[in-house]
Amino acid sequence: DRGDVPEHVWDRIKDHPCFSEEAHHYFARMHVAVAPACNIQCNYCNRKYDCANESRPGVTSERLTPEQAARKVMAVAAKVPQLSVLGIAGPGDSMFDWRRTFETFRLVSAQLPDLKFCVSTNGLALPDHVDELAEHNIDHVTITINAVDPEIATQIYPWIYFNGRRHTGIEAARILLARQMEGLERLTAKGVLVKVNSVLIPGINDRHLVEVNAAIKARGAFLHNVMPLISDPSHGTRFGLDGRRGPTPAEVKAVQDSLGGGAHLMRHCRQCRADAVGMLGEDLSRDFTLDKIPEAPV
User: What is the contact surface with ligand CLF in residues (CB under 6 A)?
Assistant: 18, 29, 31, 54, 85, 87, 89, 118, 120, 140, 142, 225, 269-272, 280
Interacting partner of 38 out of ligand SF4, ligand CLF, none (Cβ under 5 to 8 A depending on kind): ligand SF4
How far is the C-alpha of 282 from the C-alpha of 182, rounded, in Å? 34
Instruction: State yes or no: residue 180 binds ligand SF4 (CB under 6 A).
Output: no
User: In degrees rounded to 5, what are phi and psi of residue 5?
Assistant: -75, 120
Nearer to ligand SF4, 47 or 136 (CB): 47
| Helix-, strand-, coil-residue percentages of the chain, each rounded to 5 | 40, 15, 45
Q: Which of 33, 40, 108, 276 binds ligand SF4 (CB under 6 A)?
A: 40
Asked if residue 55 lies in contact with residue 87, where contact means CB atoms within 8 angstroms, the answer is no
The residue (of 54 and 93) whose beta carbon lies closer to ligand CLF is 54
From 6-14, 22-30, 45-53, 170-178, span contacting ligand SF4 (CB under 6 A): 45-53
- Cα–Cα distance between 15 and 26 in angstroms, integer? 8
Phi, psi for 291 (deg, rounded to 5) = -70, -10
Question: In the range 101-160, which residues lie near ligand SF4 by CB under 6 A?
Answer: 122
Under the binding rule (CB under 6 A), the answer on residue 183 touching ligand SF4 is no
Q: Amino acid letter at 239?
A: F
Instruction: Work out whether 201 is an interface residue with ligand SF4 (CB under 6 A).
Output: no
List 23, 34, 35, 51, residue binding ligand SF4 (CB under 6 A)? 51
Residues 6+ apart with CB under 8 A from 30: 72, 73, 76, 80, 83, 85, 86, 87, 276, 277, 278
CB-based closest residue to ligand SF4: 45
Q: Please report how close the Cβ of residue 151 comes to ligand CLF at its closest, in angstroms.
A: 27
